[in-house]
Structure 1
Amino acid sequence: MTQGQAKGIGLVELRRGVLVLAVLSQLRERQYGYSLRQALVDGGMPVEEGTLYPLLRRLEAQGLLTSEWDTATAPPRRYYRLNAEGSDALAELAKAWRAQVEAIHGFLGDA
């Protein structure tokens, strides 16, 4: 494995781990898929539709999101939002994230 391949694998794994936290953080407010994708892009975390929509379905199946169709708009849009369980999960993940960031800062020092 080359250095570039190792770097790519590491970045993919890192992004996969933080994408759930990023998505949950953006769904404190009701959003449809495209607006969520744009919010992530604007925040520096671009994500492909082929990654985002399956993740939204999985989070909803896990009971962290609710969704509803708005047919009053053209085209109809499916809106997602955190439910109570999702808000709790976001709080727990945010706490764990902050602890991990602190630990990594200690490991990296001035690197």
Structure 2
Amino acid sequence: MEWGKYMDSLLQSLIIELRRGTLTLAVLSQLRTPQYGYSLVQCLERSGIVIEQSTLYPLLRRLEKQGLVTSSWDTSEARPRKYYELSAYGEEIFHELKKEWLNSSKELYLLLQGEERE
């Protein structure tokens, strides 16, 4: 494999790894009110966070299995929709993750600012 292609592939892999945790936090932040999949995608996109449905639904299933999210079906309209919402446990975890993210982001920002000054 040529060096440029290897670096592009490695960079893409690292970006995906970096985004994985941030997507979880972003999704949890939007589930304080009930959302169905497509409305959640739109909400995140309005905030500048792009998430594919092929990424979102497995993430929602994993969060539900972990007890962070609950789901329920709304069959009152012609097209049934599955709504997701933070559980009480999910709310606690979200607040702790948010605190951790804010602290880590601040520390990383300061670290990276130092790198730019060198």
Tell me which interval the TM-score lies in, with the shorter structure as reference length. Answer: over 0.9
- When the two structures are superposed, what TM-score results if normalisation uses the length of structure 2? 0.88
What does the per-residue CA deviation read over 1:72-93, in whole Å, with 9 as the maximum and x for residues that have no partner?
1121000010011010010010
Provide the aligned C-alpha RMSD in A. 1.3
Helix, strand or coil at the partner of 1:25? helix
**In structure 2, how many angstroms separate the alpha carbons of the residues matched to 1:58 and 1:3?**
31
Matched residue pairs, number? 111
**In structure 1, how many angstroms separate the alpha carbons of the residues matched to 2:112 and 2:10?**
19
Shift of 1:42: 1.2
Q: Which residue of 2 aligns with 1:33?
A: 37
Give % identity. 50
| Structure 1 position 68 matched with structure 2 position 65 | no
Letter in 2 for 1:70: D
Letter in 1 for 2:95: A
Greater C-alpha radius of gyration: 2
Match of 1:58 among 55, 62, 71: 62
Divergent runs of 4+, >2 A: 1-7
**In structure 2, how many angstroms separate the alpha carbons of the residues matched to 1:46 and 1:66?**
23
User: Structure 1: which 5+ residue stretches go unaligned?
Assistant: none
Helix, strand or coil at the partner of 1:97? helix
Q: Which residue of 2 aligns with 1:83?
A: 87
| Structure 1 position 104 matched with structure 2 position 103 | no
Shift of 1:6: 2.9
Match of 1:92 among 89, 96, 100: 96
- When the two structures are superposed, what TM-score results if normalisation uses the length of structure 1? 0.93
